[in-house]
Structure formats: structure tokens, C-alpha cells
A = this chain, B = another copy of it.
Amino acid sequence: MPKIVDHDQRRIELVDATWRIIARHGIEGATMREIALEAGFANGALKPYFPTKDDLITFAFGHVFNRTNQRIAGRSAGKAGLEALRAFCQEVLPLDEDRINEARIVIPFWQKALTDPAKAELHETSMNQWRAALQGHLREARDRGEVTAAVGEEDIVNQLMSMLLGAQIVAAMSPGEHLPAQLDAALDAYLTLLRPVPARGEVGENDA
């Protein structure tokens, strides 16, 4: 019987190897030869999967996007409105080492997308999916009276999208020890801004 090769699994192993190489040497240092070596492939064996490094980077971006969406689905199961919105954002934010490594894959993808229309389109499509999800949660939160800020939904979605993408830069550039806690706190504080302001008398320590 011929050996059965799970090609999808092989692709993911390659992406994982790419990850480690990029984290170590940056994308320029990540030659196809090194990636093959790291993944335990013979030098030419990568070609059928990823003819060029560009193909690999595109696949890696898709892989990060799918992984994030799987985490979101897990975390937001059974949640609605503002809680679902919060779960979504928390899974996109780079709040642990694994996700900071994801940011390290996404930044080279962005750099490539600057001059590669196919990559830019993939980015646009992916981000539009996220925008739609955020919009859905936000609308639900409004309906439930959890969001009362006198600010349009589109503006809130734009703020969140910029914040989530910017956090990838912040985390990848300065992965300090307290950073995940800071990003998480900033998200919570932002959601507080959207919530109903308690009527006078309900506020505790801020009362004069």
C-alpha cells in the first residue's frame, strides 16, 4: 500500500516551521532551504506545497486568520452582545506569546501586501469578515441596551478595527512583560466608554 500523505497537515507543519524561522531570523533570513530543514523536509520537497516564499507567507496569513477565527468561535460560544464583542476582541489581541508570534507573521504579510494586489485583496476580504462580525455583535449590544454611547456603529467598528490591528504592532515591537495586561485593560476601558453612564447617585467613589 502506498504511504498516505496528508497534504494539508504537511502544509501546516511547514507553516509552523516558517513561523519559528521567521521569529528567529526575520522574513529575509527565512530561506526556503532553512524552512525545509526546520520542518524536516529535503530541500526540494517544499516546491509542490509552496513554489515561492510568497506563497508560504500568504498561506501563513490565512492560517493565522483561521486559527484566530476558531479561537473566537470557541470563546464566544453562548455569548451575545457586548460579551461576544469582548470575546472577539480578546482573541484578536496579542495577549500571549503564541499570538505575539502570529503578529510577527502578519507584519511581513502586510509589508508584502503593499505591492501585491492579491495579498491586499485577501487582507481586505478577511478584515471585512471581521468588520461584519463586530457590527453584528455591536448591533445586538445596542438592542440589549448594553451600548448607549451617542456614537455611530460604523465609527465604533472603525475604532475597534484600528485598535486591534495597531495592537499587533505595539505587541510585536515592544513585547514587554506587562503589555498583554495593558492591552486587555485598554480594551475593557474602551468598552466602558460605550456603556450606559450610571445615573447620578449610582456612582460611588467618584461622587463629591
Q: Which residues from chain A sit less than 8 Å from chain B, CB to CB?
A: 25-27, 29, 104, 107-108, 110-116, 120, 123-124, 127, 149-152, 154-156, 158-159, 161-170, 172-174, 182-183, 185-186, 188-190, 192-194, 197, 203, 206
Give the docked Cα–Cα distance between A108 and B150 (Å): 38
**Contact B110–A172 (Cβ < 8 Å):** yes
Chain B residues positioned under 8 Å from A193 (CB to CB): 149, 151, 193-194
Interface of chain A, main secondary structure: helix
Please judge, given known A-B contacts A163-B162, A170-B165, whether A189 and B152 are in contact too, CB under 8 Å: yes
A61 to chain B, nearest CB (A): 12
User: Which among A112, A115, A168, A172 has the greatest number of chain B C-beta atoms within 10 A?
Assistant: A115
Contact in complex: B159, A190 (CB < 8 Å):
yes
Pick from B25, B165, B194: contact of A169, CB under 8 Å: B165
Min Cβ gap A60→B in Å is 14
With both beta carbons as reference points, the residue of chain B lying nearest to A183 in the complex is identified as B158
Could you pull out 24 A-B pairs where Cβ atoms are within 8 angstroms? Answer: A26-B114, A27-B111, A29-B115, A104-B114, A107-B111, A114-B173, A120-B173, A127-B173, A150-B192, A150-B203, A151-B189, A151-B190, A152-B189, A154-B182, A155-B186, A155-B188, A158-B186, A159-B186, A159-B189, A162-B166, A162-B167, A162-B170, A162-B183, A165-B166
